[in-house]
Structure 1
Amino acid sequence: MIAPQEHEYSVMGGLNRAKVGRYLSMAASAISGALVFTLLTAVDLAKQLGMHVNAPPTLLSLVGAGAVFGLLYWVLNKWAWKWPGLCLALKVPNISGTWDCIGRTLEADGSIKYEWQATVTIVQSWDKLRIRLTTQQSGSSSIFAAIANDSVDGIVLLYHYRNDPKTGAAGLVSHTGCSVMTIAPELNTATGDYFNGRGRMTFGTMHWTRRN
């Protein structure tokens, strides 16, 4: 089995990532041009003052458009996407953190079969995501995810996951499933449904509460 890891996720209703890349490219070109101009101007000024200085190619490459773009993308992916104003413009909600989960597995008639508790850990950057849900008996990790900005329902998180039982968990087998969670506007609670298949044909509801 491949070890779970962060994966790309889709944002429906958000700012197109290709368009963001173009904006970063334009900003990188402008910043790089300004830095190179400033550096060469400083070198010329130093020579006029009788100093023997040069701008080596290695130094110029450090302020090239490619290097500046890489730095801007790293800052965006790591931190900037969470800044309030930029987060609003990108329409990528910050759902990272730890959530407490109360789940209910249901019978076919809608009655409660049993209740369970779990911890949901979400690791998120601008372009990658991982949702990890753990109970006393098993753990699941997301394989694919999408976030939808719905004008009626609000923020909807859809993800596909693989669940693996812990060693010694009797009666449980590995299985896959999917979940659809509707997240409240303040990003502190979420409610939704889950559906299992391929090894465990169960379904139910979940309620998440985000820890401070």
Structure 2
Amino acid sequence: MLEHEYTHLGGISRLNVGRCLGIISAAASAGIVFVLLWSVNLAQSMGLPVNLPPSLLSLVGAGVVFSVLAWLLNRHAWRWRIMQYVLQVPDLSGDWICTGRTIGTNLNSEYDWKGAVTIVQSWDKIRIRLKTDTSASNSKSAALVKDEADGWRVFYSYSNEPRIGETDLNVHKGFAEILFDKNLKAGNGEYFNGHGRYTFGTMKLEKIDNG
């Protein structure tokens, strides 16, 4: 699993979200236990031989409820429109067409290139993968910043590895900044390579509608 944590600036603190989940879990657990005990008492008052094993109560403890809610939030609920409004976390996951241009310098000629970007994202982790005909890269760290005027900015570092047979290319590290529009359908960015390949350029992303 190559997903990694990312910094989120401009939304609700994850610490505060954890506190809210703790309060909700405690209240939900107490409510469930109350309903179970009330149901047992009602059944017994009707002469039914009903017993409530302690192990059942442990399954609805605050810790278990918190774990379930945290998993639901991290994997699914954060994508819901109302939760995105509250949490202020953009859903960038999916497949993107990438069109790039390497800027020419004294050491490198200018050229255009194309690739495919796949973003895997949950509420607390992300992975940005770019594949071209000659190499592939994976993000190592990332930060999301809300831009009130234009959309969302994503800053990330990555490691790039050439495909087998690309003897003219070297393993290298780099950094990219992408500004996604408010509709999260397109993005414009810049990249800078170093530690093995000293190039820089621009790239444009367009979301692929899968359906």
For the aligned pair, the TM-score class normalised by the smaller chain equals: over 0.9
1: CA distance, partners of 2:113 / 2:11: 34
Q: How many aligned residue pairs are there? A: 208
Match of 1:118 in 2: 115
1: CA distance, partners of 2:170 / 2:105: 21
Q: Work out which of the residue numbers 159, 162, 179 in structure 1 matches 2:156.
A: 159
Mapped contact 2:150–2:182 kept (Cα < 8 A)? no
Q: Work out which of the residue numbers 105, 127, 134 in structure 1 matches 2:124.
A: 127
1:146 aligns with 2:143: yes
2: CA distance, partners of 1:101 / 1:112: 20
Amino acid paired to 1:143: K
Superposition map of 1:39-188 within 5 A: 39-108=36-105, 113-188=110-185
> Percent identity of the aligned residues?
47
Mapped contact 2:96–2:117 kept (Cα < 8 A)? yes
Amino acid paired to 2:66: F
**Structure-1-length-normalised TM-score:** 0.95
2: CA distance, partners of 1:21 / 1:114: 47
Query: CA offset at residue 154 of structure 1?
Result: 2.4
1: CA distance, partners of 2:80 / 2:157: 28
Task: Return 5+ residue gaps in structure 2 as ranges.
Answer: none
2: CA distance, partners of 1:190 / 1:147: 13
**Structure-2-length-normalised TM-score:** 0.95
CA RMSD of aligned residues (A): 1.4
SS in 1 for 2:18: helix
Mapped contact 1:104–1:112 kept (Cα < 8 A)? no
Per-residue CA deviations over 1:47-73 (Å, capped at 9, x if unaligned) read 112222221121111111011111111
For the structure 1 residues 17 and 25, does the alpha-carbon distance in structure 2 shift closer, same or farther, using more than 3 Å as the test?
same
2: CA distance, partners of 1:117 / 1:188: 18
Query: CA offset at residue 31 of structure 1?
Result: 0.6
Task: Return 5+ residue gaps in structure 1 as ranges.
Answer: none
Query: CA offset at residue 112 of structure 1?
Result: 6.9
SS in 2 for 1:180: strand
Mapped contact 2:171–2:196 kept (Cα < 8 A)? yes
Match of 1:194 in 2: 191
Query: CA offset at residue 13 of structure 1?
Result: 0.7
Query: CA offset at residue 108 of structure 1?
Result: 3.4
Query: CA offset at residue 189 of structure 1?
Result: 0.5
1:14 aligns with 2:25: no
Query: CA offset at residue 9 of structure 1?
Result: 0.6
Amino acid paired to 1:168: G
Per-residue CA deviations over 1:163-212 (Å, capped at 9, x if unaligned) read 01111112111111010000111100000100000000000000000001
Per-residue CA deviations over 1:137-180 (Å, capped at 9, x if unaligned) read 11000000110002234210100000011111121111110100
Per-residue CA deviations over 1:18-69 (Å, capped at 9, x if unaligned) read 0001111111111100000000111111111222222112111111101111
